[in-house]
Structure 1
Amino acid sequence: GLYLVKMMSDYIDMSNCLPALSAEIVHRVAEILKLFNSRTAHLVLGANALQVSGLRSITARHLAMASQVISFTYAIIPEIRRVLLLKVPETYKGLLQSELDRVATDYKNHRDEIHSKLVQIMRERLLVHLRSLPQIVEGWNRSEDTEQPSQFARSLTKEVGYLLRTLSKHLLEEDVQSIFGQVVVILHTQISDAFSRLEISTPQAKSSLHCDIQHILACIRALPSDNLSKSGPQNWGLLDEFLARTVGSEPSE
């Protein structure tokens, strides 16, 4: 990313020194930006980095770092365009401006695809955790009440917390809120649906269910989100409704 910025700076200097080449310079800058964008997408979203660098997997951290550099480049393209077009003859200005605008759109789409992939990762991890739920509920129905959250609830909230810490290090606050706004909806929808399909047959099981949901809701409440409600608890959703309907308890604040 820093090397790309240095290249952009060099091309701007060249445009200032050689105004006769300004149109060609803008075209070259657009081509370099396109190459950087496509190469980054190929390495990260396309997972080609697994072959190039020997990585075992593309993690949320890799995606967040890719989003960081793509978002930064997207943010500076308007200024690059403004400065470079100052020297371009009017005859070519409209065409070159459109070319740079298309490049900016490609960067925005790339960033959005990365964010969608991050949401997908959390959805897939949630589904993995949910596979253990039937066995856990079966244990609740057979055993005494436990006052501790299950391994399912603890592992899930730990993983959500890790994703939040990872993204908060690399992404803008509004991007983190947008991503976790979607994650919150997924957590509410998938977990409430999974619990509703299972039989909670004893008072002890109902108490354990209450403990698990309260633990998960505490995690959900702490997540940044762009779906904030002006009334009611933060990140209220289907899991709150399921808790109130099934256990007969008021949701946690």
Structure 2
Amino acid sequence: MKLALRSFAMKYIQNLHSERRAQLTATLNGERWKIADVPYELQSVVSKICELESIPHTLQYESGGPDGKYLVINKENYAVVATVQLLIKILLEYCDATKQSPDIVQYLVHCMLELIRLFNSRCCQLVLGAGAIQSAGLKTISTSNLALVSRSLQVVLWLLPLILDLLVKLHSKELLLNGFSSIENDLISHKQEIENKICIIVSNMLSSQLSGWEAKPPVPSQTFRNISKHLVKLHEALIDILPIEQIRSIYIKVHDNFKDKLREQLAKMNIVANGSPQHGVVTSELTFYLQTLKTLRVINENDSEDNILYDIWLN
């Protein structure tokens, strides 16, 4: 009798997983990588998890409240796409089934890891690989799209150790759980790739502007006005999606790339820090550039203007 029940439970979970995998795949393929409102029901269970600092044995979804613009996790706002909301629901649904016998739970572990890998790899194909241009009809992959994937991955990274903790508590000796470490590394690596991609996109724009720049009045030149516009647009694209620390990290990389490109340009133009009129033009241009960064509050307050201006002339 017990064997028959176990067989029935396994068959049910296999069918359920097949449905959920197809559902996740279809949602991913149609995802337009825009911020999606968060249903109150999902927020209620996430808030409970945050309160307990663990996934409860019985999940209760409350209803009746308003949807939110962000998924709030430990008092921090997460702008997320619809697909990651679906993934969270499925993973929590699977967590709710972990009270089964260990062999069935081991299969559930396999299913959860499979769905997270599917989400991670398909996100990479659709956004970093620009597959969403064809699958969802996007005109281009924007920095906002990239930032949303990064933020969605961070939600999965938040949930992952909580799932692992639940499994360890229930079946610590019976389960093989080494797949969690591998998928966590994959998610972190993907998140870093996205950040690098954003930096490359913006840095290339700034480099393109600098390539036609001439160090002569009027100041600020159209080149540096355009550079300022690109920096402001990047900030507008990221500010509602990523935390300020991550935005600053991106700007620091963009700033470092900009300095490298500017040094190359100054060397080509044979401009040195000798107090000449051209040197004065460069200083004025950089002062304007730095003012943009300061207005956006994305440069380190400890990095004084003089240090940055001096830094440009170092080889």
Q: TM-score, normalised by structure 1?
A: 0.79
Residues 113-167 of structure 1: per-residue CA shift (max 9 Å, x gap): 101111111221111111221xx44xx3xxxx53x41110111011112112322
What secondary structure sits across from 1:170 in the alignment?
A: coil
Q: Which moved more, 1:6-15 or 1:198-207?
A: 198-207
Paired residue type of 2:195: H
What secondary structure sits across from 2:141 in the alignment?
A: coil
Cα displacement (A) at 1:235: 9.2
For 1:217, the equivalent position in structure 2 comes to: 290
For 1:69, the equivalent position in structure 2 comes to: 152
For 1:56, the equivalent position in structure 2 comes to: 139
Cα displacement (A) at 1:190: 1.5
Q: Residues 192 and 219 from structure 1, CA distance in 2 versus in 1: closer, same or farther, beyond 3 angstroms?
A: farther
**Contact 2:211 / 2:265 at 8 angstroms: preserved in 1?**
no
**Contact 1:19 / 1:87 at 8 angstroms: preserved in 2?**
no
Q: Residues 234 and 69 from structure 1, CA distance in 2 versus in 1: closer, same or farther, beyond 3 angstroms?
A: farther
RMSD of aligned Cα (Å) = 2.6
Alpha-carbon distance between aligned partners in 2 of 1:211 and 1:241, rounded to the nearest angstrom: 15
What secondary structure sits across from 2:128 in the alignment?
A: coil
Specify which structure has the bigger relative contact order, considering alpha-carbon pairs within 8 angstroms and separated by 6 or more residues. Answer: 1
Paired residue type of 1:217: L
- What is the 5 A alignment of 1:82-93? 82-88=165-171, 90-92=173-175
Cα displacement (A) at 1:204: 5.9
Residues 54-112 of structure 1: per-residue CA shift (max 9 Å, x gap): 222211111001111011111211001111333325132xx32x111111111111101
Cα displacement (A) at 1:179: 1.6
What secondary structure sits across from 1:56 in the alignment?
A: coil
For 2:89, the equivalent position in structure 1 comes to: 6
**Contact 2:146 / 2:198 at 8 angstroms: preserved in 1?**
yes
Asked if residue 156 in structure 1 is aligned to residue 227 in structure 2, the reply is yes
Alpha-carbon distance between aligned partners in 2 of 1:6 and 1:198, rounded to the nearest angstrom: 58
Residues 19-44 of structure 1: per-residue CA shift (max 9 Å, x gap): 44222111111111111111111101
**Contact 1:63 / 1:118 at 8 angstroms: preserved in 2?**
yes
**Contact 1:26 / 1:85 at 8 angstroms: preserved in 2?**
no
For 1:250, the equivalent position in structure 2 comes to: none
**Contact 1:67 / 1:111 at 8 angstroms: preserved in 2?**
yes
Cα displacement (A) at 1:50: 1.3
Question: Which stretches in structure 1 are left out of the alignment for 5+ residues?
Answer: 246-253
Paired residue type of 1:45: L
180, 188, 209: which one aligns with 2:251: 180
**Contact 1:70 / 1:111 at 8 angstroms: preserved in 2?**
yes
Cα displacement (A) at 1:205: 4.9
Q: How many pairs align? A: 227
**Contact 1:221 / 1:233 at 8 angstroms: preserved in 2?**
no
Alpha-carbon distance between aligned partners in 2 of 1:128 and 1:121, rounded to the nearest angstrom: 11
Q: Which moved more, 1:206-215 or 1:174-183?
A: 206-215
**Contact 1:23 / 1:88 at 8 angstroms: preserved in 2?**
no
Q: TM-score, normalised by structure 2?
A: 0.65
Among the aligned pairs, what percent are the same residue? 23
Q: Residues 91 and 149 from structure 1, CA distance in 2 versus in 1: closer, same or farther, beyond 3 angstroms?
A: same
For 1:36, the equivalent position in structure 2 comes to: 119
For 1:100, the equivalent position in structure 2 comes to: 180
Cα displacement (A) at 1:200: 6.1
Q: Residues 210 and 173 from structure 1, CA distance in 2 versus in 1: closer, same or farther, beyond 3 angstroms?
A: closer
Paired residue type of 1:72: V
Q: Which moved more, 1:3-12 or 1:122-131?
A: 122-131
216, 221, 238: which one aligns with 1:167: 238
Cα displacement (A) at 1:207: 4.6
Cα displacement (A) at 1:221: 4.0
Alpha-carbon distance between aligned partners in 2 of 1:241 and 1:45, rounded to the nearest angstrom: 33
What secondary structure sits across from 1:90 in the alignment?
A: coil
Alpha-carbon distance between aligned partners in 2 of 1:170 and 1:128, rounded to the nearest angstrom: 27
Question: Which stretches in structure 2 are left out of the alignment for 5+ residues?
Answer: 1-83
Asked if residue 120 in structure 1 is aligned to residue 191 in structure 2, the reply is no
